[in-house]
Amino acid sequence: MKLLLPSLHLLNSHRRKLCNKENFSLVERVHLNIQKSLYPKSYSSRKSSMRNDEENMVIRNKYKLNIIVVSDKKEEGKNVLFDKVKSQVDGEKFVVYNLSSQALEKSSSWMTGCRAIIMQKEVENALLQESIEQFQNSGGLVICATDKERLVEQLALFSSKETEEWQDSLASIFSQGFLYSDPDTVNLLNCDRILARKKNNVLTQGKVDLILAGDGSCDTVEKANESKEFFHLEDFSDKANFNVENYLAKLETKTLGRNIISLPSVSSSMNVVSGLPLVDGLVIVPDRQTAGEGRGGNRWISPEGCAMCTLQLHLTLGRGIGRTPSLLQHVVGLAVIKALGDDLDIRLKWPNDIYYKKEAKLGGVVVNSSMFSSNLIINIGCGLNLSNQKPTLSVNQLRREAGLSEVSREQYLAATLNYLEDFLRRFDDGRAQEVIQEYHKVWLHTNQQVEIHDGVCGEEPQPVRILGLDEYGYLLVQDQHGRQFSVHDDGNSFDMLNGLIRPKFS
């Protein structure tokens, strides 16, 4: 039997990058990213030939900002609003694009380097409205053409050669983030491997740049890798939404969570740990994600109130849970359940979902893995509806209805890491079965009868009884003849609550 780690890749689209006082902007990259998001196949075939053109466009337009016109209305074959805006703005400082509302709904990359968005009419789509409000809260301008007086006023300002006030109203090219590193542990500020990678105070990851020190000046940023997102990490303060003091007061671990990065907004917290390894136990905690995807490419919506984090583990192959790393998603799910306590009937649905009874999904876990030297680098993403507002069901809604006190994000995260480190220690000590037994107490499937549908061979559905997890975390089942075998989660679609397991075809 070939054993594979579950293919739980967290793919991500792109998030905005704000501009600094020098108007540094990857203008043409916006259009390229939108093309990439909407037409992935054509983009892939042209990627190599377009790379040099893209680099040239970036250099040519690096001092310009974007104005996006959202208009589908044409008169005699012409887009009147787009033509009007383009004719009036200062072409030396702005680049004007015309996008349809459908294009904006499919990608958030339009926010990158964008100063203003001009709408033909009010937005009706709720998802697009949410993105536009976030753009507006980040300092972007949103103008509706139906407000003709304001449109004329803003176009007059855009046509002015004196645009310093627009530049000053933006944040810098990087977004702000907050970093805590325990001085008694190997951390981002003292790790020799990390220090060797830093250039001009910038640590380049696969999809983001982290500015760990310095003033974040334009000179520093321009020398950094042109990633999709930049984050200037400073010490935690009152400006952070995450209360690190409350979190540390509850944290009892030696390694996990002793390095923590809090970000107000990011495409996906998994992007921060993409690329070369950072440090063992590092946790990324975003207030909001704009472009996350979960298992199987499903979109991971992360509204306000959702408790999200990404944890990086450095495991030794053949030791502890490094012998069976495919169990990790189950162990993390168990840690979440234990952290939430026994007051509510919150359970685990195999392989990676967190449920309230059998009624509603509250969260889930995704896992990516890679090898670095002799270590297995595991990036774990976990999301939980903790304090979401209705109509989304959340843990704290359930607690209020039951007359219980609410759980803070800081308390929940610290407790989860406490339990997880304890479970990993048990694996190191040869007590893995203790953890598996605790898992079976909180999952939904013991002795559940299900049917396996083999759609390839056309065979009759095979009834089986679920026994538990096998040693690798796969589903151990028994058929009517007493034969036991394992069912992998890769490549299958599981309607476990309705007792169906069937192949999944693209």
DSSP state of 156: H
Q: Distance between CA atoms of 427 and 56, rounded to whole angstroms?
A: 52
Assess whether pLDDT exceeds 60 at residue 388: yes
- Percentage of the chain with pLDDT > 90? 35
pLDDT at 164: 42
pLDDT digits (tens, 9 = 90+) for 407-448: 999 999 999 999 999 999 999 999 999 999 999 999 999 888
What three-state secondary structure class fits 184? coil
Mean pLDDT of 290-294: 66
> For 207-243, what is each residue's pLDDT tens digit?
888 887 544 444 444 434 444 688 889 999 988 999 9
DSSP-assigned beta bridge partners for residue 472: none
pLDDT interval class at 384 (50, 70, 90): very high
pLDDT 10s digits, 363-381 = 999 999 999 888 899 999 9
Evaluate if residue 353 carries a pLDDT over 80. Answer: yes
What SS3 state is found at 259? strand
Q: Say yes or no to pLDDT of 79 above 70.
A: yes
Give the helix/strand (H/E) hosting 461. none
pTM tops 0.85: no
Residue 308's SS3 state is strand
Tokens found for residue 487 = 């069912």
Alpha-carbon distances of 312 from 62, 231, 270, rounded to whole Å? 34, 18, 9
Select from 256, 155, 166, 172 the least CA-distant residue to 209: 172
Distances (CA, A) of 267 to 14, 125, 185, 264: 6, 20, 28, 11
Instruction: State the Cα–Cα distance between residues 17 and 36, nearest whole angstrom.
Output: 17
Radius of gyration of the chain (CA): 25
pLDDT at 300: 60
Q: Where do we find the tokens 């016109």? A: 69
